[in-house]
Structures are given as C-alpha cells and as structure tokens.
Amino acid sequence: MLSKEDNTLLTQVSRGTPMGNLLREYWMPILFSDELTAGGRTMKGKLLGEDLVAFRDSSGRPGLIEANCPHRGAPLYFGRNENDGIRCVYHGWMYDVTGACVDMPNEPAHSNFKDKVKLNAYKLRERNGLIWAYLGPRKTPPELPDLEFNVLPPEHTLIWKNMQMTNWVQGLEGNIDSSHLSFLHTRLERDGNAEFGGGGARGLWYEDPAPRMEVTDTDFGVMYGAGRLEESDRRFWRVTQFMMPFYGLFAPIGPNECPMQWWIPLDDHTVMKWDVRWNPNRPITEEERGRLMSPDPGGFIEPTSDPYTHYRLAANMDNDYFTNWDAQGDKRYSGVPSANLQDAAVQEGMGPIVNREREHLGTADAMIIRTRRRLLEAMKALRDHGTVPPGVDDPTVYGIRSTTVVLSDAESWQSVASPLLKAFTDEKIMAADITMRTPRA
C-alpha cells in the first residue's frame, strides 16, 4: 500500500508538482519524426498536463510551443506555418521554434514591443525517427540517454505506440511485474505460449506461478530477477529493469530481440505507451516486424484534432476490450484477445488513478514496491535538496539490456547475468536455450 499523500506525489505530473518537476529533468520521446511535416499543419498535443502545439517549420526544425498566443490567448493550433515560424491568425504575431516573437505586424513599424514578448517553447532533439522534448529548467539540457536502440541504425529498431486512459504509473507497474505473466497473458492450451518466448515457451508460467523475486537498486533505477523453478534445483531467471523515470525493460522475446516500453504522461489520467524492439546485431526482417508488431483487434479510432484521439485503441472498457468470454473456458486465461489489450483492460479498469491505500502487496510485488520507493526518493531529494535525479547527468547508465538465464540454485543470477546486461557489446542477450521444452504433465 501507499499513503494517500505518497500516491498523490507519485501520480501527479503537472508543472509545479514534485513528480512533474522530476519528470521535467529528463528528455522524453514524444513523437515520431514523420508526424510533423516541414511547413505543414500544426498538431495539438498534451504533455505532463500542458496544452501544447507541435509543428515543423519551413526549414524542417521541429517546434513545441504553448497552445495559446501570449498576445490575447488565441489558439496557435490555427497558426499559419510560414517562413521559419508560426503566425497567430488573430492579429498576425509570429514566433519561431525558440519562442521568439519575430514579427508583430499590427504594431507601429518602429516599435520594439516584439522583442519583449516570448512564447513558451520547449527544446527538441531528433534522432533516428523520434522527436525528444525537454520541458525542464536548464538552459542547456542534459544529453539524450544512451539507450541502445536510440544509437543503432533505424533498420535495427521497431517502434510503435498507443494511448492508455490511465495514470502513467499504473502502466509502468505492469511493465515490471513478472508475476502477472502466469495469469493475465497465458493461453490455456499449454503449448500456446511460445509467442511470448522465454519462460512462456518453456511452459514455466504454468509450472511455477510464484517466481522467486530478487530486487536490487542500480545507478539507473531498479533491477530484478524473477526465478521460476525449472527442475528441482534449476531456475529460469528473467532479469529486467526499471530505468528512471519511465522506462521498463522486459525479457528478450527471441535471440537478440531486445524489448522495452516507456510511459509518457499526457496528463494525470492519460499516458502514451511506447513499445520498442531492437536487434543489436542486424536489421529487423520484415517477417520479424509482422510477428513483433501485430495490430490489436479493432485497431485505432479515427483521429481528429483532439490529442486524446491520437493512437487511441478502438477496444476499450465500453466494449469489454472485445473479450471473448467463451475463450476463458479453454483458450485464454482472460478472454481478452491480445496481450496489449489484456494489459490495458486491467490497468484502465483500476480507474484513472488506483487507490493504493487499499492495496495488499505481497512478496510477488517486491519490484513494484522498490520502484515506487526509488521514484519517491528521487522526487523528494530533488524537491528538498535540489539533488539531480539518477541518470540525468550520466547518459551512459542507460546502456543496458534485459536477459534470461537458467542456473542452478548454487549460482547467482547477478554475477552470471551481468555481462549479458551490457548494451553495445557482442554478448548474446539470452544465455538460455529457448527452444520449446515439453511441459511437465
């Protein structure tokens, strides 16, 4: 459980809140590069509770600005994307991507009033098809994190996203919860779980639904091993990480298929979930792209200018996420038709912000407990002492991978796994042989 006060601190992200301030210390991946066209139309956006407008100027520079004109508040969403700036359609004031007012045509020509007006504009960086935003206080922002996928050529990566109508922490906590794999995502035919690789392919999600949980703090956040008994003295360890402040890795899906997700809060009740797969050694093939990124049943709703319609799944609470109740009998544990929708169904169904005072956390929740504590500690250290949060000034701590290993109980997963967890190496990410094993009867 968490006190009401700590739950509020953990979940609220608007400007001026302690968690809002913590998140603003970090770069956030927010858009695909191709969502903005040079000289093209603007786009409304939400980020950390702020109403924003994104555009790409005629020189190709991306811009992210406050939604309303500092003159008299007209919506810049209707702005004209002219030469290297966005022009408010109400009285023609024009701003560049840095927020400088560069033209004020309704004031006398000799007036220097425009030099005194500044629009709130955020720093952006673009790399490998992603646009990153920095909403923090520094004039010179930190470096982008050295996440392996973000340094590899784009052909080595596969990225997609969808919106979830829930607080960002609920999503993140699903990311670092090995325990639910034995239930929510399982198929009832025992050999039907190979699609998830690793422990699923080995039949272990059934055979040991109560993995041994071992959690450790790191310089990037928190890491844990979830060890499922495979033989009487051998365990299959799934070693995954939480990286500050919103990244969650999960176990490799196949040899050298590294996965991660991140959770960007649009506001306190809405989050954009991003999924990444990367292969450190070679481009991802078309066959792999199809297999790894199968669309959810129903796809997305038709987007409008409303940012809450962007990448929003058609399956939702109102249509029971297209649950097939009959499938609960002999096919799927939940009856919800895809892993992504299964996660959405339980996370959105908790309500926009789950009441953590009412929880009953057990040993299976050790990673969740430690991750909350880490976030709260970093947030309070920043609030009370101005302490720079973990990873902000050390992008190299993000150079890690997840892994799986099979070990006897005499061996420690921390020491065996550690070479496999380093990014930018030739180490195979999965030491375990994941070929299908015949599940015990």
Of 91 and 234, the one with the shorter C-beta distance to ligand FES is 91
Of 87 and 370, which CB lies nearer to ligand FES in the complex structure? Answer: 87
Nearer to Fe ion, 268 or 343 (CB): 343
- Least CB distance from residue 170 to Fe ion, whole Å? 12
Interface pattern 119-158 for Fe ion (x via CB under 5 A): ----------------------------------------
Closer to ligand FES at the Cβ: 88 or 313? 88
* Residue 387 Cα distances to 5, 156, 375, angstroms: 21, 36, 13
Report the C-alpha gap between 398 and 276 in whole angstroms. 15
| Contact partner at residue 311 from ligand FES, Fe ion, none, CB < 5 to 8 Å by partner kind | none
Beta strands 94-95 and 85-87: pairing type? antiparallel
Backbone angles phi, psi at 383, to 5 degrees: -65, -45
29: nearest Cα among 328, 262, 371, 321: 262
Q: Which does 90 bind (CB under 5 to 8 A by kind): ligand FES, Fe ion, none?
A: ligand FES
- Closest approach, Cβ 64 to ligand FES, in A, equals 18
Question: Which CB atom, from 86 or from 159, has the smaller least distance to ligand FES?
Answer: 86
Write out 136-179 in H/E/C secondary structure.
CCCCCCCCCCCCHHHHCCHHHEEEEEEEECCCHHHHHHHHCCHH
* Binding of Fe ion by 173 (CB under 5 A): no
User: Choosing among ligand FES, Fe ion, none, which partner's interface includes residue 72 (Cβ < 5 to 8 Å by kind)?
Assistant: ligand FES
Positions touching ligand FES (CB under 6 A) are: 69, 71-72, 74, 88, 90-93
- Minimum distance from CB of 67 to ligand FES (Å)? 12
35-43, 171-179, 322-330, 355-363 -> range binding Fe ion (CB under 5 A)? 171-179
DSSP reduced 3-state for 384: helix
Show the DSSP H helices in 216-337 as ranges: 286-292, 327-330
> What's CA 427's distance to the chain center, in Å?
25
Sequential DSSP letters for 286-302? HHHHHHHTPPPTT-BPP
* Cβ 36 vs Cβ 62: under 8 Å: yes
* Nearest approach, Cβ of residue 273 and Fe ion (Å): 11
Nearer to Fe ion, 81 or 316 (CB): 316
Residue (102 or 194) nearer to Fe ion, CB: 194
Segment 193 to 252, residues that bind Fe ion, using CB under 5 A: none
How far apart (Å, rounded) are the C-alpha atoms in residues 203 and 188? Answer: 11
What is the distance between the alpha carbons of residues 26 and 220, in angstroms, rounded to a whole number? 13
Q: What is the C-alpha separation between 166 and 163, in angstroms, rounded?
A: 9
CA distance 162 to 353: 19
Residue 15 binds which entry of ligand FES, Fe ion, none, with Cβ cut-offs from 5 to 8 Å by kind?
none
Nearer to ligand FES, 35 or 107 (CB): 107
Q: Which does 343 bind (CB under 5 to 8 A by kind): ligand FES, Fe ion, none?
A: Fe ion
How far is residue 285's CA from residue 281's CA, in Å, rounded to a whole number?
12
Nearest alpha-carbon partner for 278 in 294, 264, 261: 261
Rounded to a whole number of angstroms, the minimum distance from the CB of residue 342 to Fe ion is 6
Residue 296 interacts, among Fe ion, ligand FES, none and using kind-specific CB cut-offs from 5 to 8 Å, with none
343 belongs to the binding site for Fe ion (CB under 5 A): yes
> Would you count residue 268 as binding Fe ion (CB under 5 A)?
no
Whole-number Å distance between alpha carbons of 78 and 88: 7
Least Å from the CB of residue 340 to Fe ion: 8
The region of 34-42, 213-221, 274-282, 335-343 touching Fe ion under the rule CB under 5 A is: 335-343
- In angstroms, the CA 101 to CA 121 distance is 11
Binding partner of residue 253 among Fe ion, ligand FES, none, CB cut-off 5 to 8 Å per kind: none
| Interaction partner, residue 439 (Fe ion, ligand FES, none; CB < 5-8 Å by kind) | none
In angstroms, give the least distance from the CB of 85 to ligand FES. Answer: 13
- Quick one: 116 or 139, whose CB is closer to ligand FES? 116
Closest CA to 245 of 331, 157, 142: 142
Closer Cβ to ligand FES, 95 or 220, answer by number: 95
Interface positions with Fe ion (CB under 5 A) = 174, 343
